[in-house]
């Protein structure tokens, strides 16, 4: 399979190049030149099919030109070694829980797959691969967990000093080994700017390979498309065309869902649920895409003012406003609506949503009401509520800390403090 810049102004490349370079010389993001269609037999055998088998069959066509099948099987088995259960909350409303991985957010899926693929591509090379990632919270820990202990790779996680939660900081700074946590005296945008400079710097490239691990990386999207097939397999309602509701930030998750659709998965509508950072909902309403500064909300992993995967999403849908809005419906919700939904659903069903999942729930509820659709809906639960115990106070009752989070709280932190300054980061990367 060949991979192409969505701007179509650059040479097609291999998956290895798409995954290590991230951005094509024409400035575009990489996508497969065309999506593989899965065979009819895959879909007829889907109900009840094993997650590991689904993962292998979906990933294989993307990788098979460059990665042997037994390695693809090994990677998919290791990535999906935790459950992704589908829980029914109401007659027609289900949630797909994506948060049972090591850092308790869905980003584990993409980060684990990407890390193993990069290590495979870097095998036999005598230079270390230095992976740089900027984080506003969840990405850094998932990427650190994904790469921890893997050979030939060092990971530098840049986080904004004092602007992530103490629990998130623990999840980034307690790995040791090949993971280096860097507290930057600046904002998330500063971290992102430094990370971008690091992966494109020529001096650094002379001595070792560098790569980015944020969500523009195609290797994070391929595995995320897998759980849409898995959801249909678990739903096991032949003939149903379920709607999927996704809590949106950088739009990686919903782009992966649209990739699954492009591979032949039959679904209802894709619901792009956002918090007050509503550039996508506004685009659907007005056909104008107006990026802006993000505002802070309690669903903070979705606080994105210029979602980096928007061009991919638009492309996948057909390239214009009308074709996008035929498959996708978007709506935005405030913090108080979010907390109200958490409270209401918990009282009615006993189920506790996290703020991100609650936004997706609200999107689905509103869509089912306005469209009068009788099809089932599945909303994605992207994080464990215990990660957001502070903002859920008053609506959640006592939240039990899961083992993964209890363990991390006991570990010792270690990180490097850095001024918001490129030369200091460059020195650090050169010398370590
Ligand atoms: C990153 C994140 C999101 C947003 O996902 P995108 O792929 O960036 O749209 C939603 N929920 C949680 C918990 C996240 O960490």
pLDDT tens profile 71-125: 999 999 999 999 999 999 999 999 999 999 999 999 999 999 999 999 999 998 8
Question: What pLDDT is attached to residue 164?
Answer: 86
Question: What pLDDT is attached to residue 331?
Answer: 97
Task: Name the token pair of 307.
Answer: 């979602």
Please calculate the CA angle 190-196-201 and round it to the nearest 5 degrees.
Answer: 125
CA pair distance 425, 432, nearest whole angstrom: 11
Tell me the longest C-alpha to C-alpha distance in the chain: 61
The string over 92-120, giving b where at least 16 C-beta atoms fall within 10 Å of a residue's C-beta and e elsewhere, is bbbbbbbbbbbbbbbbbbbbbbbbbbbbb
- Which residues are bridge partners to 274 per DSSP? 332
The string over 279-306, giving b where at least 16 C-beta atoms fall within 10 Å of a residue's C-beta and e elsewhere, is bbbbbbeeeeeeeeebeebbbbbbbbee
Task: Name the token pair of 8.
Answer: 């179509």
CA pair distance 345, 88, nearest whole angstrom: 12
Residue 250 alpha carbon to ligand 1 centre in Å: 7
Question: What pLDDT is attached to residue 310?
Answer: 95
For residue 148, count other CB atoms closer than 10 A to its CB: 16
Residue 221 alpha carbon to ligand 1 centre in Å: 12
CA pair distance 222, 116, nearest whole angstrom: 13
- Rounded to a whole number of angstroms, the CA Rg of the chain reads 21
Question: What pLDDT is attached to residue 285?
Answer: 93
Residue 248 alpha carbon to ligand 1 centre in Å: 6
* 286: enclosing H helix or E strand: helix 279-286
Residue from 188, 246, 311, 356 to probe ligand 1 pocket by mutation (most atoms less than 8 Å from CB)? 356
CA pair distance 414, 218, nearest whole angstrom: 30
- Residue 273 Cβ inside 6 Å of ligand 1? The answer reads no
- Residue 301 Cβ inside 6 Å of ligand 1? The answer reads yes
Question: What pLDDT is attached to residue 408?
Answer: 92
Residue 254 alpha carbon to ligand 1 centre in Å: 10
Residue 236 alpha carbon to ligand 1 centre in Å: 26
CA pair distance 392, 275, nearest whole angstrom: 16
Residue from 279, 302, 353, 383 to probe ligand 1 pocket by mutation (most atoms less than 8 Å from CB)? 302
How far CA 271 is from CA of 281, 306, 319, in Å, comes to: 10, 18, 18
Question: What pLDDT is attached to residue 209?
Answer: 86
DSSP string for 74-105: HHHHHHT-S---EEEEETTEEEEE---STTSB
- Residue 105 Cβ inside 6 Å of ligand 1? The answer reads yes
Residues of the chain with pLDDT under 50: none
- Residue 252 Cβ inside 6 Å of ligand 1? The answer reads yes
**Domains delineated in the chain:** 69-106+219-388 (3.40.50.1100)
CA pair distance 262, 254, nearest whole angstrom: 12
CA pair distance 320, 13, nearest whole angstrom: 25
Question: What pLDDT is attached to residue 234?
Answer: 97
CA dihedral 65, 71, 72, 75 (to 10 degrees): -140
Q: Report the candidate in 267, 268, 286, 266 with the shortest Cα–Cα distance to residue 278.
A: 286
Question: What pLDDT is attached to residue 18?
Answer: 94
CA pair distance 314, 58, nearest whole angstrom: 22
For residue 29, count other CB atoms closer than 10 A to its CB: 22
Question: What pLDDT is attached to residue 214?
Answer: 82
């Amino acid at each position: 399979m060949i991979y192409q810049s969505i701007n179509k102004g650059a040479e097609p490349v291999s998956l290895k190049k798409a995954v290590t370079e991230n951005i094509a010389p024409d400035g575009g993001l990489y996508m497969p030149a065309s999506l593989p269609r899965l065979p009819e037999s895959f879909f007829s055998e889907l109900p009840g099919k094993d997650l590991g088998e689904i993962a292998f069959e979906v990933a294989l066509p993307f990788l098979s030109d460059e990665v042997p099948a037994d390695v693809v099987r090994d990677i998919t088995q290791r990535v999906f070694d935790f459950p992704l259960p589908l829980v029914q909350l109401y007659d027609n409303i289900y949630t797909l829980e994506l948060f049972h991985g090591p850092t308790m957010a869905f980003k584990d899926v993409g980060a684990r797959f990407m890390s193993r693929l990069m290590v495979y591509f870097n095998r036999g090379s005598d230079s270390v691969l230095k992976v740089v990632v900027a984080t506003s919270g969840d990405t850094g820990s998932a990427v650190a967990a994904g790469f921890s202990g893997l050979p030939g790779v060092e990971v530098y996680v840049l986080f904004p000093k004092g602007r992530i939660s103490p629990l998130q900081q623990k999840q980034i700074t307690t790995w040791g080994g090949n993971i280096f946590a860097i507290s930057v005296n600046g904002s998330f945008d500063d971290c992102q700017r430094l990370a971008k400079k690091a992966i494109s710097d020529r001096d650094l490239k002379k001595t070792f390979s560098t790569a980015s691990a944020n969500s523009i990386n195609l290797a994070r999207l391929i595995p995320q498309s897998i759980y849409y097939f898995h959801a249909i397999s678990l739903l096991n309602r032949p003939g149903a065309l379920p709607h999927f509701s996704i809590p949106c930030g950088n739009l990686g998750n919903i782009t992966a869902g649209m990739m699954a659709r492009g591979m032949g998965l039959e679904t209802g509508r894709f619901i792009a649920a956002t918090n007050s950072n509503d550039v996508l909902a506004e685009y659907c309403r007005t056909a104008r895409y107006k990026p802006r500064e993000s505002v802070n909300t309690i669903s903070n992993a979705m606080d994105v003012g210029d979602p980096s995967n928007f061009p991919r999403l638009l492309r996948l849908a057909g390239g214009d406003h009308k074709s996008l809005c035929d498959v996708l419906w978007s709506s935005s919700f405030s913090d108080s609506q979010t907390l109200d939904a958490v409270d209401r659903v918990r009282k009615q069903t006993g189920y506790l949503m996290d703020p991100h999942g609650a936004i997706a729930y609200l999107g689905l509820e509103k869509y089912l009401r306005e469209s009068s659709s009788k099809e089932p809906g599945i909303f994605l639960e992207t994080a464990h509520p215990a990660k957001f115990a502070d903002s859920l106070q008053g609506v959640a009752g006592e939240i039990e800390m899961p083992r993964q989070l209890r363990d991390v709280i006991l570990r010792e932190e270690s990180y490097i403090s850095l001024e918001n300054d490129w030369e200091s980061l460059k020195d650090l990367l050169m010398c370590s």
